[in-house]
Structure 1
């Protein structure tokens, strides 16, 4: 009898999760700690990607925090309808690179978190969530695999917490 109860509980939980699979996570449930940044740190250029795009990263970081409390998302194009980005810590200058370097078939303004003025990636100063829409652009990637992907940015790491197919407009 216990095994049946455990199975029913697990099945109910699975169905509940599956039914909500198409809904983006709510950014307000992933609040970021706010930090007062009086002097912006200069980005620390170490990686190959950062060296290649040092001017774009350095100039973009000057805009100040716009993500997860004290970070700055710096975005630039990498082809027609494609973009790249990094996250710069406005306090330490450390640069964090996302798991995917270039996102193609990017999307439009409707692919954003509610309340966010930013789209693709979509993010806000008050939340640790970051949304991308598109196809990872690389030689082994599926050009038809356009997806909405949400990452939780916490303690300098990007953790994928949501991914769903996204139709091409």
Structure 2
């Protein structure tokens, strides 16, 4: 047994040297930590426009209502431009027709970032990279409970676009 431990240890140390630098920069939050049950009704209800902001963007929301589910199990997360280098959007519940608007706009994301928002169909996590409401600059992690987006963590970015 002692010989096997000695033979394995150098490999483990070598592996740790390759993995450790990336682990230092890796985020502690991941999509798999925020899994959602997926499912979709056979027939979608009409879109429920309730707020002034939802009425203002009703055309964008109606256009996305019949897109495939892409967020938090049974939501369509849709985005649109709000100016040069600015994005905003909302999540549409395909079961109830209710809308939850993103509580921020996103701008000033780094040049190497293609999309400032990242999400998955089977997760309630939303990752935002850039400036929120034109202030700050970082990576923001939000959890969506079906009715609101809750900030979990912020990672400041030192390099601006």
Task: Figure out how many residues of one structure are paired with residues of the other and give that number.
Answer: 138
Worse overlay, 158-167 or 47-56: 158-167
The verdict on how the C-alpha distance between 1:45 and 1:132 changes in structure 2, with shifts beyond 3 A counting, is same
| Cα offsets for 1:31-66 (capped at 9, x unmatched) | 101123222232211111111111111001210311
Structure 2 regions of 5+ residues with no counterpart? 1-22
The verdict on how the C-alpha distance between 1:23 and 1:98 changes in structure 2, with shifts beyond 3 A counting, is same
Counterpart CA distance in 2 for 1:83 and 1:110 is 13
Q: 1:159 aligns with which of 150, 158, 161?
A: 150
Match of 2:140 in 1: 149
Q: How do 1:26-37 residues align onto structure 2 when only pairs under 5 Å count?
A: 26-37=30-41
Match of 2:64 in 1: 60
Looking at secondary structure, tell me which structure has more helix per residue: 2
Deviation, 1:155, is: 3.6
Structure 1 regions of 5+ residues with no counterpart? 1-18, 112-118
Kindly report the root-mean-square deviation, in angstroms, between the aligned alpha carbons of the 2 structures: 2.2
Match of 2:10 in 1: none
CA contact (8 A) 1:21 1:164 kept: no
Match of 2:125 in 1: 129
Looking at secondary structure, tell me which structure has more strand per residue: 2
TM-score scaled by structure 1?
0.73
CA contact (8 A) 1:72 1:88 kept: yes
Structure whose alpha-carbon radius of gyration is higher: 2
SS of the aligned residue for 1:146 comes to strand
Q: How do 1:1-169 residues align onto structure 2 when only pairs under 5 Å count?
A: 23-100=27-104, 102-107=105-110, 110=113, 119-137=115-133, 142=135, 145-166=136-157, 167-169=159-161
TM-score scaled by structure 2?
0.76
The verdict on how the C-alpha distance between 1:91 and 1:165 changes in structure 2, with shifts beyond 3 A counting, is same
